Structure 1
Amino acid sequence: MAAMEQRASFITLAVADVARSRAFYVDGLGWQPIFEADEVLMLPVAERMILSLWSVEGFTAEIGAPPAPGIAPLTLAHNVATDAEVDAVLAEAAALGAPVTPAVRRDWGGYSGYFADPDGFRWEIAMNPDETGAFVLAPRS
């Protein structure tokens, strides 16, 4: 049985100016953020789905490397309930030959790592301990 369920929790875009993005989405479109900081703005966009807008610098620091040439500066996230599940999904991706950035404890309180699919698109596998993480976790079947 695969460790990674078929779902995404976050779509993260690297943006040139978080304040400008806030002015567009929040002030202009009237969307309500679930979380805001200098480097990131998180907006619920569907049931159990967050659009996360990060500064390019914060995005690069989080994933460990700038986006590869020709690959859009975005990540998809798959949230899980425990650190052990994060490690299991990353191990599964590594076994398939995917480049993996090992999981670490993050400044925001969670635990996450990354893998790249065959085309270089990055998936974050994360255990997020706060409301944002609880919001995006899919119920277990």
Structure 2
Amino acid sequence: MAEVFLTLHVLAAVLAIGPIAVAGSLFPRYASRDHEEGREPSASGLLHRICRGYAFAGLAVPVFGLVTGILLGVLAQAWLIASIILTALAAALLALGILPAQRRLLAGRAAGEETGPAVSRLHMLTGFFNLVWAAVVVLMVVRPGA
């Protein structure tokens, strides 16, 4: 049974977190381009909807991960605890930083506000989000101390 939940955990991570990583990374570029060219934010709006929608699907990743950890009896191992903490950090970055910044940029574009510094900050946040997930993947594969 653990194999089934591990498979679901990995599939959920690839299919939910992957699109967020890609769409989140592309959003600042398209938000800047839309703003500079005076276009409606169609591409950046779509990328924001992808990030927002897949964020909810991404909730399956820690759920399946915790069930897998329970079934395998590894919840107390340091690599898994570190992965849980990093996953919580990534979720906080997405929910409290990236998605609100995307909303503000879309709203600022509609109001004609300057977006340069906000775009730079969003680039940094999405890059950090992706690095955190890369660290989680490394911990899941290498499992130091296991």
TM-score with structure 1 setting the length: 0.25
Structure with larger RCO (C-alpha < 8 A, sep 6+):
2
TM-score with structure 2 setting the length: 0.24
User: Which structure: greater helix fraction?
Assistant: 2
Bigger Rg, structure 1 or 2: 2
